Amino acid sequence: MDNAIVTVKNLTHRFRLSKKTVIKAVDDISFTIQKGEIFGLVGESGSGKSTVARCIMNIYQPTAGEILFHDVNTCDKTAFRQNRKLLQTARQLIFQDSASSLNQRMKVADIIAEPMKINHITPPRGSYREEAAFQLRYVGMDENYLDKYPSEMSGGQRQRVAIARALSMEPELLVADEPIASLDVSIQAQIVNLFKHLQKEHGFSILFIAHDLAMVEYLCDRIGVMYRGKLVELAETAELFAHPLHPYTQMLLSAIPYPDPIRERNRPRMNTEDMIFDTEGTFREIRPNHFVLTKEAAL
């Protein structure tokens, strides 16, 4: 806990659709992200993962709860103003759709250099273009792409540019909101390996949001499982995959396909269409560092 870079306490966020209709996207969840850790957040579409990411990055103002970054309460407007420089540079966000997150009218060199210009940061390598070239090489692309527009590149190349733009700020926290969901399988593996390599080189923390459990198992140190706005299970990756305790987590893991087509074809199937899982109870430590939302004192 003392090594936490992000601490989320009782986070709740609601969306008001009309005077009478309110959707609770995130419902009273708490967790920490440690320094140098890759923390995975998984769950089906609509479970609240992206809402959590946007609350952490101050895109949404939470309805209730606190989010601490280096002990700065980012939900407090006064504290945010006082620490604006730190919060705008030390935290960076990578979106799922690189086509819409990159300005289509800007060249790659300008896209990568833009955060440094906005925050009045002197480029370490002499000029903004040299800095952009360095960051581009760092993510596996050559300088020939500096004068290209996003529309002239593939999805994987655009996502690498988005990563290079984030790395130009030398962040302490990288929030990756389903950064591989719209990419081909082979490109997904390249981007995940890039994240793993960059994290080892820089030592920053990553909040990695994804649907693909196999990718999350490969990349992440700890995993939180979300269902209908609730955090239903949280554990280290090996522990979670070896001993899934919440029924929803068990269902998610049972859906991972086997690489053997015969074994995949013959395995029993769970009918998940009408499954509704209980979201009531208390978040308890059932096994060492393994927390589950349950009504029972022990499982």
Q: Are strands 205-209 and 38-42 parallel, antiparallel or unpaired?
A: parallel
Structure tokens at 261: 């087509």
SS3 of 152-215: HCCHHHHHHHHHHHHHCCCCCEEEEECCCCCCCHHHHHHHHHHHHHHHHHHCCEEEEECCCHHH
**Residue 147 in domain:** no
CA distance 186 to 127: 34
How confident is the model over 74-133, as pLDDT tens digits? 999 999 999 999 999 999 999 888 888 899 999 999 999 999 999 988 888 889 999 999
**Residue 207 in domain:** yes
Which H/E stretch holds residue 241? helix 237-242
Distances from the Cα of 222 to the Cαs of 53, 60, 246, 250, in angstroms?
A: 16, 25, 16, 17
Q: Is the pLDDT of residue 71 over 60?
A: yes
Domain range enclosing 12: 4-98+173-181+197-294
**Residue 131 in domain:** no
What pLDDT is stored for residue 2 in this prediction? 66
- Judge contact between 179 and 96, C-beta under 8 A: yes
CA distance 176 to 45: 16
DSSP structural state of residue 298: -
**Which of 64, 63, 62, 82 shows the shortest CA–CA distance to 72?**
82
Where do we find the tokens 């009045």?
Answer: 120
**Residue 128 in domain:** no
CATH number for the domain harbouring residue 212? 3.40.50.300
Q: What domain count does the chain have?
A: 1
**Residue 136 in domain:** no
CA distance 2 to 119: 30
CA 46 to chain centre: 15
Mean residue pLDDT of the chain comes to 89
Q: Is the pLDDT of residue 272 over 60?
A: no
- pTM recorded for the entire structure: 0.90
